[in-house]
Structure 1
Amino acid sequence: MSNMLQPGYEESVPIDEQSSDREKVWYISHHGVCHPTKGKLRVVFDCACMYKGTSLNSQLNSLTGVLHRFREELVAVLADIHAMFHQVWFPHKHVNFLRFIWWPNGDANNEPQEYRMRAHLFGAVSSPSYSLSYSNYALRRTTEDNACEYSIEVISTVKCSFYVDHRLKSATTEEDAVQLIHGLTSLCKRRGFHLQKWVSNSREVLALIPSDFRAADIKEMDLDRNQLPLERVLGMEWCVEGNTLSFRTAVQDHPHMGEASYLWKRYESHL
């Protein structure tokens, strides 16, 4: 919670607005979800939680090209935008529908206070649509507003090689890849979009990226000796070392899927 409060993604509701009857108000329940492998705790708002027969979600309207361009040239480069949804804020007239209760500084001995989200949140059914649309619009508008200052390659990359917060592109040479990284980083930073977790199948390119901006598995890696890791790319696995894309599947027997499991096992036996 503190990590969202400090940069302004959420705010404490002013005292003079807490008991106001002039506006409609909605409170959202929330919980923490810990990623099983990364160990990172993320706040998820339960926008489907019902109260008197309704929920926030009920009031909201409910990759192939990118992957091709990602492996079109010899040197592949991958990155994502840090907290992309949180960089785009809601109009002020809507923030009172995004209130929640929390203890100041996370100390349950304190009296709980009212807060409200200012930025787009996880948990709303609108997140894949509205949040994505607004974030993409902001990113494209950043590109259009600064197009005259950057190369055609940088501008076309933002327009054609971003999928949500993931940036996937390839370049002909290491030099081209490094120039592209510098251009994209500078352009996105103009409007608060920070590119991070860089990965490349080129060790020369990785060596020129500060370790703090590399993906977690590569930060402290000895690029002269260690094998490059597996990375997740749009639901697929990218073996960076071997430079191949693949799927990971887990087929399990199920009472209602007996025939499918049988056919799959027959297929496996012929591999």
Structure 2
Amino acid sequence: MGTTALAYHCKTTAKMPNNRCMAEQRAASLQRKLSKTPDLYKGYKDFMAGINGKGYAVKIPMKQLSREDGRVWYIPHHGLYHPKKDQDADLLHFLWWQDGDPNKPMEDYRMTVHLFGATSSPSCASYALRRTAQDGGSKTTPEVVETVLRNFYVDDCLKSVDSEDPAVALAKDLRHLCASGGFGLTKYVSNSRAVLSSIPKEDSTTEVKDLDLNHKQLPMERALGTQWCTESDTFRFKVQPQDKPATRRGILSIVSSTYDPLGFLAPLVLPAKLLLRDLCREKRGWDEKINSGQAQKWMKWLADREQLSKFMCRDKSNRQGLNP
């Protein structure tokens, strides 16, 4: 299995101040917190031992600690971690206690992988995935390469094909292509039992791993914020009751919480957005109560919104879906 090495995104002229003192203060604060919460300490210690044991971070030799070019930066403890470029590793220093014991001296470490949550990480991960598809394109089919280039959204892949056999083949070829670049595709789900049966259990979602595909109903999955009922191949929506005041602020909060990236609910959401437009035109304050007529419209909309759990949008294409 190969890996993709990418430089850490940083201006070439950037010089960072020495922030080791701040990192020490944050570590001292963390030490006090861990001393009061044994369970948190155990989890934190196990996590740090894991990233060190797997080589995601390494202890810095003493002779490499005296760097004076402004290209060293300590990451205050907040708890995060994910590809690799040795010359940028000094931008990802951190402090940790010897043997994970807060009563022992702190030691300097540096990350060997990109941090989960860093501003540059999504673009690095996306580039690495696309580069893997391009480099391995000669060893697979054009459809597999096209799937990687066009059907991934960050780390989610949504793909549909005409029948089960192509879906089984595509899932297998996708795993092989991505593995060549160090990417392990997991959490597969499909509306086809034949496709799910072809996926190794360890690569399936938690809900599918122990499922009897011959008898039990397929689970409900979330795809980019929308619920996908794989058994009936329909999209559904779950609405949480919200107790918000009938003000411009409260209305905006509830309307914005209706996540509908595909626009299925646009006709339902439109009346509430028109009400918001009217409130803006009237220049009502954010926390000013709306009038009785507007309140009546708002209460009716809220009642209609509660019926969303009964709404479903059926896939009319009858294609086999694949979602790793």
Structure 2 residue corresponding to 1:173, chosen from 144, 156, 163: 163
Which one of the candidate residues 62, 65, 80 is aligned to 1:44? Answer: 80
Higher RCO, 1 vs 2 (CA within 8 Å, ≥6 residues apart):
1
The answer to whether 1:228 aligns with 2:215 is: no
Residue of structure 1 equivalent to 2:57: 10
Match of 1:118 in 2: 112
| Aligned pairs for 1:56-205 within 5 A | 86=82, 88-89=83-84, 91-124=85-118, 126=119, 130-205=120-195
Deviation of 1:154 after TM superposition, in Å, equals: 0.6
Q: What letter is aligned with 2:218?
A: L
Secondary structure of residue in 1 paired with 2:221: strand
Please identify which structure carries the higher helix content: 2
User: CA, structure 1 residues 236+140, in 2 after alignment: closer, same or farther (shift >3 Å)?
Assistant: same
One of 223, 233, 240 as aligned partner of 2:230: 240
Identity %: 41
Which is higher, the Rg of structure 1 or of structure 2?
2
State whether residues 244 and 251 of structure 2, in contact with CA within 8 Å, keep that contact through their aligned partners in structure 1.
no
Q: Which sections of structure 1, spanning at least 5 residues, go unmatched?
A: 32-42, 46-85
Once the 2 structures are TM-superposed, how far is the Cα of residue 104 of structure 1 from its aligned partner? Answer: 4.4
Unaligned runs of at least 5 residues, structure 2: 1-47, 255-294, 308-324
Give the residue type in structure 2 aligned to 1:169.
K
- Give, as a single letter, the amino acid of the residue that structure 2 aligns with 1:153: E
Measured on the aligned residues, the alpha-carbon RMSD in Å equals 2.3
For normalisation by structure 2, the TM-score amounts to 0.60
Give distance in 2, aligned partners of 1:170 and 1:106: 47
Alignment check: 8 A CA contact 2:96 2:108 kept: yes
CA distance in 2, matches of 1:242, 1:264: 33
CA offsets, 1:65-97, max 9 Å, x none? xxxxxxxxxxxxxxxxxxxxx2x22x3332222
Question: Cα gap change, 1:259/1:7 in structure 2, threshold over 3 Å: closer, same or farther?
Answer: closer
Residues 28, 147 of structure 1: CA spacing in aligned structure 2 closer, same or farther, 3 A cutoff? same
Supply the distance in 1 between the matched residues of 2:298 and 2:199 (Cα, whole angstroms).
Answer: 43
- The number of aligned residues is 214
